[in-house]
Amino acid sequence: MIKIAVDAMGSEGGPGVEIEGAVQAAAQYSVSIVLVGQKDRIDEALRNHDTTGLPIEVVNANDVITMEDSAANAARRKKDSSVHVAARLMRDSGISGMVSAGNTGAVMATAKMILGTLPVVDRPALSTVLPTQKGKPAILLDVGANVDCKPHHLEQFAIMGDIYSRAIFGIRRPRVGLLSIGEEDSKGNELTKEAFTLLKRVRINFIGNVEGRDIFKGDVDVIVCDGFTGNVALKLSEGLYEAFASMLKQELQKTISAQIGAILAQNAFRQFRHRLDYSEYGGAPLLGIKGITIVCHGRSNANAIKNAIRVAQEFCKHDVNRAIESEFKKLGITRTAGVT
Binding site for a copy of itself (CB under 8 A): 70, 132-133, 144, 147-148, 179-181, 186, 188-190, 192, 211-217, 225-229, 231-244, 246-248, 251-252, 254-255, 257-258, 260-269, 271-272, 275-276
Q: How far is the CB of 12 from a copy of itself (least distance, A)?
A: 16
Q: How far is the CB of 122 from a copy of itself (least distance, A)?
A: 17
Q: Measured from the CB atom, is 38 or 127 closer to a copy of itself? A: 127
Using DSSP's 3-state secondary structure scheme, residue 147 falls into coil
C-beta contacts of 169-175 below 8 A and 24+ residues apart: 169/136, 169/137, 169/139, 169/221, 171/136, 171/221, 173/205, 174/139, 174/204, 174/205, 174/221, 174/222, 175/205, 175/207, 175/219, 175/220, 175/221, 175/222
Q: Measured from the CB atom, is 211 or 319 closer to a copy of itself? A: 211
CA 310 from chain center: how many Å? 12
Q: Measured from the CB atom, is 27 or 262 closer to a copy of itself? A: 262
Using DSSP's 3-state secondary structure scheme, residue 47 falls into coil
Q: How far is the CB of 68 from a copy of itself (least distance, A)?
A: 9
Instruction: Tell me which residue of 37, 38, 40, 33 sits closest to 57, measured CA to CA.
Output: 33
Q: Measured from the CB atom, is 264 or 339 closer to a copy of itself? A: 264
Q: Work out the angle between the directed axes of helices 151-169 and 320-331 (0-180°, nearest 10).
A: 130
Q: Measured from the CB atom, is 46 or 215 closer to a copy of itself? A: 215
Q: How far is the CB of 276 from a copy of itself (least distance, A)?
A: 7
Whole-angstrom Cα distance, residue 251 to residue 6?
Answer: 41
Whole-angstrom Cα distance, residue 332 to residue 330?
Answer: 5
Beta-sheet strands, E only, within the chain: 2-7, 31-37, 56-60, 97-100, 125-130, 138-141, 176-179, 206-210, 222-224, 284-287, 292-295
Q: How far is the CB of 324 from a copy of itself (least distance, A)?
A: 25
Whole-angstrom Cα distance, residue 177 to residue 179?
Answer: 6
Whole-angstrom Cα distance, residue 71 to residue 110?
Answer: 8
Q: Measured from the CB atom, is 1 or 232 closer to a copy of itself? A: 232
Q: Measured from the CB atom, is 21 or 188 closer to a copy of itself? A: 188
Q: How far is the CB of 79 from a copy of itself (least distance, A)?
A: 23
Q: Measured from the CB atom, is 16 or 212 closer to a copy of itself? A: 212
Q: How far is the CB of 141 from a copy of itself (least distance, A)?
A: 15
Q: How far is the CB of 220 from a copy of itself (least distance, A)?
A: 11
Residue 319's CB: how many other CB atoms inside 10 A?
14
